[in-house]
Amino acid sequence: MDFNLSEKTKEKRKQVQTFIKDHIEPMENDYYKELHALDNSYTNLPQLDELKKKAESEGLWNLFLKEGEKEVSKSTEYAPLAECMGHSFLAPEVFNCNAPDTGNMELLLKYGNDEQKEKWLTPLLRGKTRSAFGMTEPAVASSDATNMAATAILEGDEVVINGTKWWTSGAGHPNLDFIIFMGLSLPEGPRHGRHSMVIVPKGTPGLKIERMLSVFGYHDEPFGHGEVTFKDVRVPKSHIIGGIGRGFEMAQGRLGPGRIHHCMRLIGASERALSLLCERSLSKVAFGKPLSHLGGNRERIANARIQIEQARLLVYKAAWMIDTVGVKHAMSEVSQIKVVAPRLSQEITDFAIQIHGGGGVCQDFPLAAMFAGARALRLADGPDEVHLALVARAELAKYQKESREQGNR
């Protein structure tokens, strides 16, 4: 048993932390003020590109990939870096580690053919373009993926795409290059072999971004979350990733590490919230005492620390299992962290808001926006309830197997 990070990871983490502290945090406020003052906030501001250039030049780039950018990093090595990036809304973009691009890059690395890699992956890896992912649909309960109604039907050399996707994050970004669309291709195929993933370039006729969705009032510009319609959209058959009918299989592979990323960022955000609230509780005075000395605040601070420690250890363990026994044998663990981390982050951010008073709910602190992000992640990538159901099934299966075995004797 060893809870140490590798020396290499510690060093990289130090670099990332320093970069965030020295270069990102100081410019955040001005960046957002400038962005939100624009008539159209779906704009790529130049100061961000400069920061990205600097990060890339310092080797702080595509950190979710191993050196050489041919393979994803070990989950245990990337996890601590993802946590650091969770401290800042801008950091993931600056280090080219933003969702859903990371997942899309992993997908193309693993399943893309050479042409796809050259045309779509390379610019993404260099941070020149952004991408989106179209999975969830407004008309159905997407928590049950078999509800998916959109179609991607092969017709000769083309794939014909129809349907509506929403929560297509990144759809509003001016650098958006393509959307990876997932839809039903083989309605008569085996239950998890019916869907395909297809690259749909921005600007393809029939593809329309109908509107941008808000998350508690926020639009998360410049990337945003789109509702996108596909009406008889036609792309060449060569835009299918990995082969027809492999959509589910690839989605599963994508989700394990992706959830590690999300969860570690949420832990980073929780640490940020705890840090802000500790400072605030020491500096603000009411009824003659700092807030840290009033009511149950200290107990809440202690509980927050305890919950963060536990959540981080659980995500580390899930990451370690992905690294050592593979996602398939870490299904329960991955669902466990998907429940724990957003719930934790929502709770701690809520407490931090309370300590900040009126400042906590408004634009003066990042807390309300962090809350909205955590809250949304209790739904994105499967709602809490679906993950709890999976964990319970795995738990009960231990006893059902025993019963079966006993029955067999």
Of residues 226, 172, 166, 215, the one with CA closest to residue 371: 215
- Provide the minimum distance between the beta carbon of 94 and a copy of itself in the complex, in angstroms, as a whole number: 23
How does strand 130-134 pair with strand 289-290? unpaired
For a copy of itself, which is the closer residue by CB, 175 or 292? 292
* Number of other residues whose CB lies within 10 A of the CB of residue 212: 17
Integer Cα distance of 175 and 126 in angstroms: 12
Integer Cα distance of 119 and 296 in angstroms: 56
Integer Cα distance of 403 and 400 in angstroms: 5
Region near a copy of itself per CB under 8 A, out of 95-103, 108-116, 155-163, 330-338: 330-338
Q: By CB under 8 A, is residue 379 in contact with a copy of itself?
A: yes
Region near a copy of itself per CB under 8 A, out of 52-60, 114-122, 229-237, 307-315: 307-315
Beta bridge partners of 198: 181, 240
Region near a copy of itself per CB under 8 A, out of 126-134, 170-178, 184-192, 291-299: 291-299
For a copy of itself, which is the closer residue by CB, 117 or 317? 317
Region near a copy of itself per CB under 8 A, out of 57-65, 172-180, 188-196, 359-367: 359-367
Q: By CB under 8 A, is residue 287 in contact with a copy of itself?
A: yes
How does strand 130-134 pair with strand 176-184? parallel
For a copy of itself, which is the closer residue by CB, 224 or 247? 224
Q: By CB under 8 A, is residue 181 in contact with a copy of itself?
A: no
| Residue among 27, 154, 160, 391 that touches a copy of itself (CB under 8 A) | 391
- Provide the minimum distance between the beta carbon of 389 and a copy of itself in the complex, in angstroms, as a whole number: 6
How does strand 289-290 pair with strand 285-286? antiparallel
Q: Residue 202: CA atoms inside 13 Å, Cβ hemisphere, count? A: 18
Of residues 390, 374, 394, 384, the one with CA closest to residue 339: 384
- Provide the minimum distance between the beta carbon of 313 and a copy of itself in the complex, in angstroms, as a whole number: 4
Contacts to a copy of itself from residues 55-114, by CB under 8 A: 76
Region near a copy of itself per CB under 8 A, out of 62-70, 95-103, 151-159, 297-305: 297-305
- 173 close to 128: Cβ distance less than 8 angstroms: no
The one-letter amino acid code at 5 reads L
For a copy of itself, which is the closer residue by CB, 176 or 355? 355
Peptide bond preceding 222 in cis form (omega within 30 of 0): yes
Q: By CB under 8 A, is residue 345 in contact with a copy of itself?
A: no
Region near a copy of itself per CB under 8 A, out of 175-183, 244-252, 254-262, 282-290: 282-290
How does strand 158-169 pair with strand 225-236? antiparallel
3-state DSSP assignment of residue 4: coil
Region near a copy of itself per CB under 8 A, out of 14-22, 108-116, 194-202, 329-337: 329-337
Contacts to a copy of itself from residues 1-30, by CB under 8 A: 1-6
- Provide the minimum distance between the beta carbon of 152 and a copy of itself in the complex, in angstroms, as a whole number: 21
For a copy of itself, which is the closer residue by CB, 173 or 225? 225
Q: What is the DSSP string of 296-353?
A: THHHHHHHHHHHHHHHHHHHHHHHHHHHHT-GGGGHHHHHHHHHHHHHHHHHHHHHHH
For a copy of itself, which is the closer residue by CB, 30 or 395? 395
* Number of other residues whose CB lies within 10 A of the CB of residue 114: 8
- Provide the minimum distance between the beta carbon of 217 and a copy of itself in the complex, in angstroms, as a whole number: 2
- Provide the minimum distance between the beta carbon of 318 and a copy of itself in the complex, in angstroms, as a whole number: 10
| Residue among 68, 156, 296, 407 that touches a copy of itself (CB under 8 A) | 296
Residue 109, burial from CB neighbour count under 10 angstroms (0-12, 13-18, 19+): middle
Q: What is the DSSP string of 101-127?
A: HHHHHHHHHHH--HHHIIIIIHHHHTT
Q: By CB under 8 A, is residue 314 in contact with a copy of itself?
A: yes
| Residue among 113, 210, 214, 401 that touches a copy of itself (CB under 8 A) | 214
Of residues 298, 391, 380, the one with CA closest to residue 346: 380
